Amino acid sequence: MAVDDDDQEIIQEEDFDELNEMEDNTNGSVGCSLRLFLGSSRELGLGSKSKWESSTSTSTNTTLSRNISIDFYEGFVINPNGRFYRCWVNIIFLWSIYSSFFTPLEFGFFRGLPDHLRNLDTMQMVFFADVILQFFVAYRDLHTYKMIFDKKRIAMRYAKGSFALDLLGCFPWDSIYKGTGRKEAIRWLLWIRLYRARKVTEFFRKMEKDIRINYMFCRIAKLITVELYCTHTAACIFYYLATTLPPAKEGHTWIGSLTLGDYKYINFREIDFWRRYITSLYFAIVTMATVGYGDIHAVNPREMIFIMVYISFDMVLGAYLIGNMTALIVKGSNTERFRDKMTDLIKYMNRNKLGKGIRSQIKSHLRLKYESSYAKASILEDIPIAVRAKISQTLYIETIQQVLLFKGCSDEFLSQIVMKLNEEFFLPGEVILDQGSAVDQVYVISHGHLEEVAIGEDGSEESIAKLDPHCVFGEVAVLCSIPQPYTVRVCELCRLIRIEKQAFTSILKLYCTDSRRILNNLLKGKDTDLRIKQMESDITYLIAKQDSELALGVNSAAYHGDLYHLKGLINAGADPGKIDYNGRSALHLASSRGYEVIVRFLIQRGVNVNSIDKFGISPLLEAIKAGHDRVAALLLQNGAKLNLEDPGSYLCKVVVDSNIDFLKRLLENGVDPNSKNYDQRTPLHVAASEGLHIVAKILIQFGADVLSEDRWGNTPLDEGRRCGSRPLLKILEQAKKDCMVEHDGIFQSESTHGNMGE
């Protein structure tokens, strides 16, 4: 994660102080990240070898507090939160104040320390001891947020950082100046010691966040300190400029030519030190305030040049002071908002008696949010949605494309996913998902490392897998609608991008092909991923369920004649020829409802026009049965057939139902009227036995044979005589006569042809 330098300093230095036995009335800590101490030392081979225990358990809290209180780790690595080092930091802070103020004074007023002040230079040994100590102080890696105990890494970090300046500041420059023949260039190296002023700045930064101290008091004290230090330094430089001229030309300096009342500053080097310092400080203050009375002014060009630079700097300093005072009045400071938020948060936690574990996590997230300003939503909340979508596309598309779960998915699908993403940062040791919990987010790791842990019934832990960048977790629970199988815990500072379950499932419903591909990607990893292998049956069931629901969606759109929805489903990847649990396709339903446009669309999409459902019915039969002649003609044009498995039995059933129109359409579409059922009975047998003379007439018109015998040797005419229906007998006897005449005509025609042949 990219963090500004100032934020890095805040995170690194301030959190060290707050990690040591924080109470609720202090400023927000990063206590939850302490849980990484044991894990970090174990990984580096420096700490306890025991397994990581739950952050919510009492034993872990006891262990952590014991680890915080120690001063040293193995191999003489100093704990930055131990009492020894905290006391040492306070000592260095006090000496840093002395060094910051005394250095300009030594440079301006002393050309070599006098004998009675020479011992002050020996105090640089304190800072030299601090330099040596820094090679053994553990630190928190800003990239992983882990505590680093490796002495080699600690030494390399400090050597590449402030070691050179810290070491140069410890040199006895006064003794070197005297030993090199009082060369003026050596004295200028004293200013290196001002690098220690950063410790004073860090002190004020911490004090501003301490909610036990009034924020306005902190800010005013800081501003006064800045103003006094600037004028103090300017006063020392003013005096230094006067001393750089030889004694013979001292009258051509601002202080050598100065007369205040009856007092003249001739031979000012012999004047009392405090009178000289106060005079210089007065000159610096009235110059900064630009309210001088003309009693003190620049005399030579060097003083004029410095005053011009000084006044220019004073304008910037004045703007800084006024701006900060204005921020105090209107409460526009981020730090003040942070303090107010932390105060309200602590009151809330005290009122609800929240445990220490959750207190630490809440404070940590508030501190991280304040120091790094990572929340994208708060930054972009005023940006239009369309622009935010483009920003998300730029930020996250490359990460999403490298996720194995989304391998092979369409660009449109990935674009929809990216638009719904949000990012979050988590500190080491935090639990993102608990084992057995309901999951409503799918997480993708953008940066950092996590681990999956199985929690046993006895509270024991077993590491299941390490999660690296571009890994996904929470997807199995969301897709399969099951509880989270494992606990997911942060190993180092991580940046996660997440999508809500509702948004994720909604996108999956729109892109059917990509949804199926995602499930297949899950199954492909079952051989190498234990968690997926154990969920194989759930995923397989989900795929089957999804296919079934998709077929129902396509069939429903075809049944209701919703061409727009049907096109949308098919364009999203749905199979138009997919059958439902009864073996019926969308073409069956569209044909039965008579939707010619949908039938034509499905035929163009390559749907099988001769598919048979579980009841032996084809789309053409559905259209004929419902009387949709135009749809039936369209199906016939495209090669559709009735494909009746048992046309005799089917026609007999139609005859029994007396469905005359349906019977006519079947016969017109080529069904043989002499088809027989399992008893060798034709539809005419059934019509004659039931006395259905109209049905019998229709069958005879389409060529039904009145002399056809069933397995008992009965003909339709015999059945008609038993029935006793006169209209029926008349029709059957007339059909018999016509049949006999036809047979006689055929016989005579064959005989005539035979005689002629002889």
pLDDT in tens, 534-578: 566 666 777 677 777 777 888 888 889 888 888 888 876 778 888
Q: In what order do the strands lie in the sheet with 494-500?
A: 422-426, 494-500, 441-447, 472-473
451-476 mean pLDDT: 88
Query: How far apart are the two ends of the chain, measured CA to CA in Å?
Result: 110
Rounded Cα distance, 413 and 504, in Å = 10
DSSP secondary structure of 154-221: HHHHHHHTTHHHHHHHTS-HHHHHHHTT--HHHHHGGGGGGGGHHHHHHHHHHHHH-TTS-HHHHHHH
194-209 mean pLDDT: 83
Check: CB of residue 62 under 8 Å from CB of residue 34. Answer: no
442 versus 539: the higher-pLDDT residue is 442
Q: Is the pLDDT of residue 442 over 90?
A: yes
| 377 to 131, 391, 399, 528: CA distances (angstroms) | 43, 12, 19, 37
Check: CB of residue 638 under 8 Å from CB of residue 605. Answer: no
| 577 to 125, 558, 605, 611: CA distances (angstroms) | 87, 11, 9, 9
Mean pLDDT score across all residues of the chain: 78
51 versus 190: the higher-pLDDT residue is 190
Q: Which pLDDT does position 75 carry in this prediction?
A: 64
Q: How many CB atoms lie within 10 A of CB 291?
A: 8
Check: CB of residue 406 under 8 Å from CB of residue 499. Answer: no
Q: Which pLDDT does position 528 carry in this prediction?
A: 46
313-332 mean pLDDT: 78
Check: CB of residue 522 under 8 Å from CB of residue 537. Answer: no
DSSP three-state, residue 271 = coil
Check: CB of residue 640 under 8 Å from CB of residue 622. Answer: no
Which residue has 């059909």 as its token pair?
A: 735
Q: Which pLDDT does position 291 carry in this prediction?
A: 65
Report the half-sphere exposure of 10 (CA within 13 A, side-chain side): 21
Q: Which pLDDT does position 417 carry in this prediction?
A: 92
Residue of 334, 448, 447, 373 lying closest to 8 (CA atoms): 373
Strands (E), 512-579: none
Q: Which pLDDT does position 35 carry in this prediction?
A: 34
Confidence band for 232, pLDDT divided at 50, 70 and 90: very high
Q: Is the pLDDT of residue 29 over 90?
A: no
Confidence band for 385, pLDDT divided at 50, 70 and 90: confident
Check: CB of residue 33 under 8 Å from CB of residue 145. Answer: yes
46 versus 288: the higher-pLDDT residue is 288
Measured at the CA of 260, the angle between CA 259 and CA 262, to 5 degrees, comes to 85
Q: How would you classify residue 75: left for phi > 0, otherwise alpha for psi between -120 and 50, otherwise beta? A: left
DSSP secondary structure of 24-53: TTSPP--GGGGGHHHHHHHHHTSS--SPP-
Residue of 579, 523, 511 lying closest to 547 (CA atoms): 579
Report the half-sphere exposure of 507 (CA within 13 A, side-chain side): 22
Residue of 529, 436, 515, 530 lying closest to 479 (CA atoms): 515
Main-chain dihedrals φ then ψ at residue 495, nearest 5 degrees: -110, 115
- Return the minimum-mean-pLDDT range out of 170-184, 412-426, 545-559, 647-661: 545-559
Helix, strand, coil in percent for the chain, rounding step 5: 60, 5, 30
Q: In what order do the strands lie in the sheet with 450-455?
A: 431-433, 487-490, 450-455, 461-467
Q: Is the pLDDT of residue 681 over 80?
A: yes
Check: CB of residue 467 under 8 Å from CB of residue 494. Answer: no
Check: CB of residue 254 under 8 Å from CB of residue 279. Answer: no
DSSP secondary structure of 302-325: HHHHHHHHHHHHHHHHHHHHHHHH
Q: Is the pLDDT of residue 659 over 70?
A: yes
| 671 to 283, 617, 705, 707: CA distances (angstroms) | 120, 14, 14, 19
Q: Which pLDDT does position 600 carry in this prediction?
A: 92
Strands 77-78 and 139-140: unpaired
Report the half-sphere exposure of 253 (CA within 13 A, side-chain side): 24
Tokens found for residue 463: 């590491």
Q: How many CB atoms lie within 10 A of CB 150?
A: 15
Tokens found for residue 250: 């001292």
Rounded Cα distance, 211 and 203, in Å = 14
Beta-carbon contacts of residue 705 (< 8 Å; ≥ 6 apart): 674, 682, 684, 716, 739
Helices 716-723 and 726-757, axial angle in degrees (round to 10):
160
Q: Which pLDDT does position 444 carry in this prediction?
A: 93
pLDDT single digits (tens) 506-533: 898 888 788 888 888 887 755 445 555 5
Confidence band for 37, pLDDT divided at 50, 70 and 90: very low
Tokens found for residue 320: 């800084």
| 342 to 157, 360, 630: CA distances (angstroms) | 33, 12, 75
Report the half-sphere exposure of 602 (CA within 13 A, side-chain side): 36
